[in-house]
Each structure stands twice: as C-alpha cells, then as structure tokens.
A and B are shown apart, each in its own frame.
Chain A
Amino acid sequence: KNEVEQSPQNLTAQEGEFITINCSYSVGISALHWLQQHPGGGIVSLFMLSSGKKKHGRLIATINIQEKHSSLHITASHPRDSAVYICAPRAQKLVFGQGTRLTINP
C-alpha cells in the first residue's frame, strides 16, 4: 500500500525555472515534513507544516489538510537545488514518500 504518493518521481529543469513537487497522502496526520537529501548525504528538514503555507528563501511549502495534499515550490531554481525531495507526513511516526529526484541544469 502507498500511504504517500509524490509526483513527479523525476524532474529535470533549466536553471531559473519554477519547480513544483506534489504530495498526496492517505493517513491522518498532525504535521507534514518536506525533506531534502543530497547524493550520499544525510537528510535535511526543509519545512514542517500543519496548515497553510510556509516560505523560506526560494522555497515555499503549502498544505491542504482537508484534501490531504501538499506542494513544495522552488522559485528561480539553481543547480545547487538538485537533490531528492521527500514528503513525509507525520502520524505517530513519519511516513516517507518515495522522493522526487530533481535535477537543475545550468
């Protein structure tokens, strides 16, 4: 069973493009994390949100609890944004999506 679905699974874009990654989940949650994982690296928590919208620099995360959907947006994308982005809704524990592999070409 897939409790968390992310789309797209892979995304390649040119530098400067606006990026959107979507996450739909079926579990009841108290919060949702967006995480970033670089190749060979650990995981960095970008956002934790339970309602509405959060912004940090060029990153924006939104969540609609009723629709069980969240999105991560990157404005003015840059090659250093290339990484795997993981959606992780939190019930008692985190449930991870499969991740979206983002590649930004210069």
Chain B
Amino acid sequence: EPEVTQTPSHQVTQMGQEVILRCVPISNHLYFYWYRQILGQKVEFLVSFYNNEISEKSEIFDDQFSVERPDGSNFTLKIRSTKLEDSAMYFCASKKDRVTDTQYFGPGTRLTVL
C-alpha cells in the first residue's frame, strides 16, 4: 500500500539554525498538510497546501515557517530560525482529492532544538 514518507526521522539542531523537513506524499494525492505534536500533547494543524499554494494556515505557522513543493514529489517544511519551543514531532499528511475523507499521515520527523 502506498505510504507517505518523511526524512529525516530525527533532526537535532541548534537554536537559530534553519531546518528543512522533507515529505514525499502519496503520488496521486493533491492535498498536503503539515502538523506538529509536542511530546505528550495533541496534534496541531500548521498548514494545508493545494495546487501549489497554501490554502490554510494556523496561528502557529508564522513568518518563520514556509512550505514548498519544489519538484512535484517532495513537500517541504522550512523553519527559518529555530526556537527551543519548535521541538516537536512534525507530521506530513496527504489526501487524494477534495471528496475523499482520509488523510494519510507519514511517520513523522522528530525535531530537537538545543
């Protein structure tokens, strides 16, 4: 069965550094999402992406965050200048089309900011 993949599985960075988290959504899916989950807490929506542009974003997704689909297969989340409180698990998800309910989540990237 097709899966959403994410790399790396774990990223350790120094505060103030830029990080790029990578996702490969399921190949025929059109809607893409990033979520984060701070350890032991709930999943929080960051951003949704469709037709090469952001369709919705939450208050968390401030100017430090950006998303890109550079080559038709990868979907990236960039954090420009990481803060300690950015430490979390970041999940990418994809959905086939507008009428399909199911969002498929990737395994996540654990980001640790020191």
A and B together in one complex = no
**Residues of A with Cβ closer than 8 Å to B?**
none
**Residues of B with Cβ closer than 8 Å to A?**
none
